[in-house]
Structure 1
Amino acid sequence: MSNQQIPLGTNWGPAATAEQVAENIDMTGKLVVVTGGASGLGLETTRVLSLLGAQVVVPVRRVAEAEEAFEGISRTEVYELDLVDRGSVRRFASEFLQSSRSIDRLILNAGVMATPLFRDNEGNEGQFATNHLGHFALTVALWPALLQAKDGARVVALSSRGHHICGIDPEDPNFLQRPYDKWQAYGQSKTANSLFAAAVDTRGRKNGIRAYSVHPGSVVGPLARHLSSEEINSFGALDENGSPVIDPKSDKKNFAQGAATSVWCATSPSLNDIGGVYCENSDVASLEETVRKGVRPYAVDLEEAEKLWKLSVDLTGANIK
């Protein structure tokens, strides 16, 4: 288990925005890759990092839509990437590596939530494949560029409080034997995001690569596109007019507030000597067994992280050399 999962007591709270937590941070000359960085939380993350001076590379499934979304946002580059297509991951990584540029920050923001059952070309369950396995293969492929970062690189994986739903079923991660449950699948993938950050940090810290997982908060956006209006209403996420409820103290956030912890993990000097931790509300989260906050111990357990790494290697054929 991570022995650094202790809140730092930052000055930021749940209402802080991405711009606020990065005030006075200069990212000029830094290159950041943000998957899914053209909509929702990812778009706000891209916008703020560009505002700080970073060059932001955004791999997405729909290039034309991304280019339209970036109108008025400088220093962005768009590439095609489909996380459930291993060939697409390899093509993007190969094209990027050919540019001989280093990656200072890799933000694994893209994801899906509570989808009907679908599978990637290898038969892996779709949420696990999109949220974890695709990002696993991408990070491994881009590892040489992360190693080249002059001041050390950071990897930020978007998990969520959804990891409270369950851990990983090592015997049947792809729902081949058990009935498919969209929320169990989502919870498993979010636990995987947290454990993946811990495993990346273990492998990268000796070379200056640190990793973090993030709960952005509950934000009504593109991630909820597979939920019915009844399901969304059951979470108390919409007011009587059908507009998203914004109440950061109860974890209901807008995009600017939801992107804050990702940007904080990518930029804060407070994390220079810390890695492998799960963060929320722009701080390291506390370990919690039952209450609806913080991180469950199983999601930052280093032994579980190593088991997931081995499983991921077996399922993707990718590994750090």
Structure 2
Amino acid sequence: MTQQHPLNSGFDAYSTAMDVIAGVNLSGKVAIVTGGHSNLGLEAARVLAGAGAHVIVPTRSEAGAVQAKETIPGVETATMDLMDPASIDAFAEDFLSTGRSLDILLNSAGIMATPLARDASGNEAQLSTNHLGHFRLTSRLWPALVAAKGARVVSVSSRGHQIAGIDFDDVNFDRRDYDKWVAYGQSKTANVLFAVALDEPGAQHGVRAYSLHPGSVLGPLARHLTDEEIDSFGARHASGEAIVAPDRDMKSTEQGASTLVWCASSPLLRDIGGVYCENSDVARVMPEDAPERFGVFARAIDPEIAERLWALSVDMTGVDIPKGE
């Protein structure tokens, strides 16, 4: 029986990260939050730290580290670039060398609708950053996740997964024309499928995986969009301020971070994994011709497609999680 159905969590689109963490004690827990220096990741990291977790924020730049340190009391920062395998490996090796277990891995960093770019291996940048980098990071940190005996891996996807599935014949746009939104949709579908595939081996070791849609939050993620594109989404007032209307999925940063924190900490998810969440609850499966955009498409939680993506990701990165260990 599928676990992909709402749990009636008691939260909704208006709930904030502080709302969903109420009553949760994370003292003694260790959390790594990619993208934890900005916007949703920063708010999630701040709230997790406020609940007692020791938070580590890997960043590409010193400016990102400064932002995290100014906002999150006691935060630990380190250097890492999700498009650089050597950087990911070095970060993971440094963490593993401390002997600490890892209770929460929140894969929040991402890019959206960028011009065509590629990493050093020729992989399209949105897939490289949003999926392959986090696939590698999770694999490298696997021993610490298993050691926690109850870890969670949370991948920030979005309703963008509804734009496009995985094109296994040309995942890197080597032959087809590049479309920045199709590339984004493909990478967000990959985030959902990754949670599905990871949860199967993970559950044996108490490692559960989740993906989520945080809501539409106007912030740095939109930096590659023109003013005309942003305005076409009806995302801001004439004054330039972001519109906050949670009933239309337009959220504040505090509201947008709520589902990140809920997936990372909710007791309701203790025995559930591999699910896609939104509005701080497990989402419904929606048909692709539904007039509403909420929920998750069946193709994004299909176990066979998830395993196919896993195999492709192993081939593209050269890393894997030892399924029997």
Partner in structure 1 of residue 312 of structure 2: 311
Q: Show CA shifts across 1:78-98 (max 9, x none).
A: 011100011111111111111
Q: Tell me by how many angstroms 1:71 deviates.
A: 1.6
Q: How far apart in 2 are the matches of 1:277 and 1:48? A: 22
Are 1:54 and 1:75, in contact at CA under 8 Å, matched by a contact in 2? no
Q: Does 1:40 align with 2:31?
A: no
Q: Secondary structure at the match of 1:70?
A: helix
Residue 74 of structure 1: how far off its partner (Å): 1.4
For 2:302, the equivalent position in structure 1 comes to: 301
**Cα shift at 1:63:** 2.9
User: Which of these residues, 228, 231, 234, is aligned with residue 229 of structure 2?
Assistant: 231
Q: Give CA-to-partner distance per residue, 1:89-145, whole Å, 9 cap, x none.
A: 111111111111000000000000000000011000000000000000000000000
Q: Equivalent residue of 1:8, what SS?
A: coil
Q: Which amino acid aligns with 1:140?
A: S
- What are the equivalent positions in structure 2 for 1:69-218 lying under 5 Å apart? 69-150=68-149, 152-218=150-216
- For residue 275 of structure 1, what is the aligned residue in structure 2? 273
- What is the SS of the residue equivalent to 1:49? helix
Distance 2:230 2:241 in 1: 11
Give the aligned CA root-mean-square deviation in angstroms: 0.9
Aligned residues: 319
> Could you tell me how far apart the structure 1 residues matched to 2:298 and 2:113 are?
23
Corresponding residue of 1:286 = 284
Question: Matches of 2:72 and 2:301 in 1, distance apart?
Answer: 36
Q: Offset at 1:203?
A: 1.2
Matched letter for residue 179 of structure 2: D
Partner Cα distance (1:272, 1:294) in 2: 21
CA contact (8 A) 1:40 1:221 kept: yes
Contact 1:14 1:249 in 2 (8 A): yes
1:245–1:252 contact (8 Å) kept in structure 2:
yes
Q: So what's the TM-score if we normalise by structure 2?
A: 0.97
* Unaligned ranges ≥5, structure 2: none
Q: 2:50 is matched with which residue?
A: 51
Code of the residue aligned with 1:225 in structure 2: it is R
* Equivalent residue letter for 1:127: Q
Match of 1:264 in 2: 262
CA distance in 1, matches of 2:133, 2:232: 31
- Matched residues in 2 for 1:38 and 1:317: separation? 28
Unaligned runs of 5+ residues in structure 1 are none
Quote the offset at 1:72 in angstroms: 4.8
**Counterpart Cα distance in 1 of 2:214 and 2:63:** 27
1:14 positional shift: 0.1
Q: Aligned residue for 2:27?
A: 28
In 2, the alpha carbon distance for the partners of 1:53 and 1:9 equals 26
Q: Which moved more, 1:60-69 or 1:25-34?
A: 60-69
